[in-house]
Structure 1
Amino acid sequence: MFAQTFMRRCNGGCREVLFSSSIFRATYSTNAAGTSPAATKFLPEYLTNSLGFSRQESASLAAKVSRFASTTKPKLVVDFLKKMGLDSTQIRKCVSRFPKLLYIDVDKTLNPKLQCLQELGLSGSDLSGMIEKGPKFLERGLDSNLKPTLDFLKQVFGNNEDVRAIIKIYPWILSTTCQAMQQNFSYFQKLGFSNEKIKWFIARRPNALQFPPEWFEERVNMLEKDFSIPRNSPMFFYGIYAITSISKSSMDKKMAVFRSFGWSDSDIVTMFHHQPFYFTLSEANIRKKLDYFMNQLGYKPDFLSTRSLFTYSLEKRVLPRVNVLNTLKEKKLVVKTHCLYSIICLTELKFEKMFLLPYKDVVPDMYESYKRRLGR
């Protein structure tokens, strides 16, 4: 029998390695990734013919999973997803986001995990959205991670409806270890937060559950030392919510924006005591509102730092109402001087009752213009 002989250096010596001709041919008929040409050719064609990807898209996706050689798993996965209620468009989106999905074992992995979520009341379209947003949960253990995490969330929220709502919006939460969640929940309790407040926090900031307690301790120290908010303050909880929403560098950049408009560190601390949610706004949003309220309306830091003006949309709330007031003043229909802040804080119903409906027939264009600006 023909044999190909190779000599390898090994620890200063030689080692003879023999390959039979059949093994030699098989070895050199595969590509560098260890995938046969048939398997390499299969996936791009399958993605194009079965899921409607363009040839360029198919080639790009296939390249990301070139280490997998199976020509049967992709079809099994697609057929299974269709049985779960996903249509071709949804499957295409899932594969685009997570190409490895096509090579997950249906019986051992995909079916048990997705059925576990369906038992929670999630539909095929829900599952599609979850795979698109946070597919990593499919790579975590069913019994070691997925089930304990779901059990913990059910324990926290007390009902499946809230759990469904959370994981549909933040599916990557299922990739967080249950142990990390439990540690953070215990830490919140240690800080004196009620279960209701913790539920409120998790529902709005579930990504915080990924961080270790030490990460929270750093931010607690920042609140206490840099912003002088003690743990027994009613604003401490909301300060934690705000300060865990952003990185330290982002916090510094936003503080720099306030300083660029003449705010002192004392003004910023006062603002954080009253309106910690200001720090959850983007730098661009903060800069735009500072420019309007300070440069155009003339408000000072001591006024803005203790009012909730920044929580309202300029485009959908402030500017439309200012425009109404200016129109009424121009037509001398309003004699009494009103505080703009109190007007901005009015509910939509009260604002219409006080400043729109009484003048609807007198200034009909004003009413219609206001509604258009609000997109109604």
Structure 2
Amino acid sequence: MLHLRKLISPSLSAPHHLPAPLFSLHRLLAAATAPVSPEPFAVEDYLVTACGLTRAKARKASKKLIHLRSPSRIDAVLSFLSSLGVSRSATAAVIANDPKFLCADVEKNLAKRVVELTDLGLNHSQIAQLIPHARACFRHSSLARNLSFWLPIFGSFGKLLQAVTVNGGILGADLDKVAKPNLAILEECGISVKKFPGTFVSRVLTTLPRQVLDAVVYIDKLGVPRGSAMFRYALMTFAIQRQDKIAKKIGALKMLGWSQDDVLTAAKKMPGFLTMSEERLRRNVEFLTRDVGLEISYITRRPVLVMYSHDRRLLPRHSLLKILNAKGLRNTEMDFYCMVAMTEKKFLARFVHPYEGSIPGLAVTYASMCAGKAPNRVTA
């Protein structure tokens, strides 16, 4: 690879008529040349005014930049990112996540990364999209090696960017100890990374291989076929959670009367319900069994019930039906799952709007309950 000095003009003030790509390295380095401000330098204030950080984030970030005595290096980095096409909001996100990004040497570090990624076939627009998600990884010399590994695995920059958006840790993952073993596990289970969105496999790929294997064993015990879509969903669910956390949630369900078979039945249909916090899981199950009066077997065959919001869906809709029943306006029983699964528009059309004339304030009361507020008084 040519030395950086050979890739740019000897003068940083090259004329505008020079032929160049969309963003030449020369222009990036030239833009990064900024005068030192003569004003006293307060890092926190500067992060707010020049970088667009909120006061709270600026205060937190400034603790890692207390050694800076002038804004010259910050200005150079900001100019470099701006010339590359990184937006102000994206720049602020990068700095908030990795304040030391502002300490990077533009020519020896950041511009060098641009050259390396350009050599891999990425254009400057793609690099600008990558930086806000790569963040600290962009400063590391291993970035080009990792990208050269992942690009053919995902099949396109677009799919790789999807994965990095969800989990930027992919770009810093240990290829030999983590990435490659996990890819081998996925292939053994019949899962091809190219065939599924990067958002699906991104976290699985950076999880400890031992944990991924444990998840596969657990899913096999559930009886979920490896070639099914549910297997992929289950793997994504269980691979990113420690087994002790899952066991604790299962223990909480058993305290509420669930058997091992009940847990397996629900997990097989919708493994994601075990990703809920233990507190939320317990609260929803208690509400469905105690307040609504549902049998555990009914819930395990419809585990999505447990995943609905208690405050914004389960409680408001159950309370509204109680109001209708108390007024004698519902002569037939409505299956609870069908009622809860309705879209909001359909629920309003069926259970709210037809009764507003008979029960003044019904719509307002329901809206208040959905907003988590005490319901307004309903008059007969």
- Structure exhibiting the larger radius of gyration computed from Cα positions: 1
Does structure 1 residue 168 correspond to structure 2 residue 165? yes
- Equivalent residue of 2:361, what SS? helix
C-alpha distance in 2, partners of 1:268/1:59? Answer: 48
TM-score by length of 1: 0.70
Does structure 1 residue 101 correspond to structure 2 residue 101? yes
> Superposition pairs for residues 144-293 of structure 1, below 5 Å?
144-153=145-154, 155=155, 158=156, 160=158, 162-177=159-174, 180-181=178-179, 183-193=181-191, 199-200=196-197, 202-211=198-207, 213-225=209-221, 227-229=222-224, 231=226, 235-293=230-288
Choose which of 333, 336, 350 in structure 2 pairs with 1:337. Answer: 333
- Equivalent residue of 1:263, what SS? coil
C-alpha distance in 2, partners of 1:186/1:270? Answer: 29
- Equivalent residue of 1:78, what SS? helix
2:310 is aligned with what amino acid? Answer: L
Deviations 1:39-81 (A, max 9, x none): xxx9x93635743599986873235xx6x99996444323323
Q: 1:356 to 1:123 in 2, by over 3 A?
A: farther
TM-score by length of 2: 0.69
Q: Which has the higher contact order (CA 8 A, sep 6+)?
A: 2
Choose which of 119, 128, 131 in structure 1 pairs with 2:123. Answer: 119
1:317 is aligned with what amino acid? Answer: R
Q: 1:242 to 1:169 in 2, by over 3 A?
A: closer
Shift of 1:282: 0.9
> Superposition pairs for residues 39-118 of structure 1, below 5 Å?
45=41, 47=43, 50-52=46-48, 60-62=63-65, 73-84=73-84, 94-113=94-113, 116=117
What percent of counterpart residues are identical?
22
Q: Is the 8 A contact 2:166 2:202 kept in 1?
A: no
Q: Is the 8 A contact 2:137 2:172 kept in 1?
A: yes
C-alpha distance in 2, partners of 1:299/1:142? Answer: 53
Shift of 1:159: 6.3
- Equivalent residue of 1:61, what SS? coil
Shift of 1:255: 1.0
Q: Is the 8 A contact 2:207 2:239 kept in 1?
A: no
1:144 is aligned with what amino acid? Answer: R
Deviations 1:75-96 (A, max 9, x none): 4323323434567776566445
In structure 1, stretches of 5+ residues that fail to align are: 1-41
Q: 1:230 to 1:361 in 2, by over 3 A?
A: same
- Which residue of the partner structure matches residue 304 of structure 1? 299
Does structure 1 residue 355 correspond to structure 2 residue 351? yes
Instruction: Identify the range of structure 1 (164-173 vs 48-57) with the bigger mean alpha-carbon deviation.
Output: 48-57
2:106 is aligned with what amino acid? Answer: V
1:246 is aligned with what amino acid? Answer: Q
C-alpha distance in 2, partners of 1:81/1:145? Answer: 22
C-alpha distance in 2, partners of 1:347/1:48? Answer: 47
- Which residue of the partner structure matches residue 25 of structure 1? none
1:106 is aligned with what amino acid? Answer: V
In structure 2, stretches of 5+ residues that fail to align are: 1-37, 50-54, 372-380
Instruction: Identify the range of structure 1 (108-117 vs 256-265) with the bigger mean alpha-carbon deviation.
Output: 108-117
C-alpha distance in 2, partners of 1:241/1:87? Answer: 32
Deviations 1:85-130 (A, max 9, x none): 5677765664454233233221243135468598374696x66743
Q: Is the 8 A contact 2:130 2:161 kept in 1?
A: no
Shift of 1:369: 3.0
Shift of 1:316: 2.1
C-alpha distance in 1, partners of 2:150/2:249? Answer: 35
C-alpha distance in 1, partners of 2:281/2:144? Answer: 45
C-alpha distance in 2, partners of 1:57/1:278? Answer: 35
Shift of 1:233: 6.5
Q: Is the 8 A contact 2:252 2:282 kept in 1?
A: yes
Shift of 1:356: 2.5
Q: Is the 8 A contact 1:152 1:178 kept in 2?
A: no
Q: Is the 8 A contact 1:275 1:306 kept in 2?
A: no
- Which residue of the partner structure matches residue 342 of structure 2? 346
Shift of 1:140: 4.0
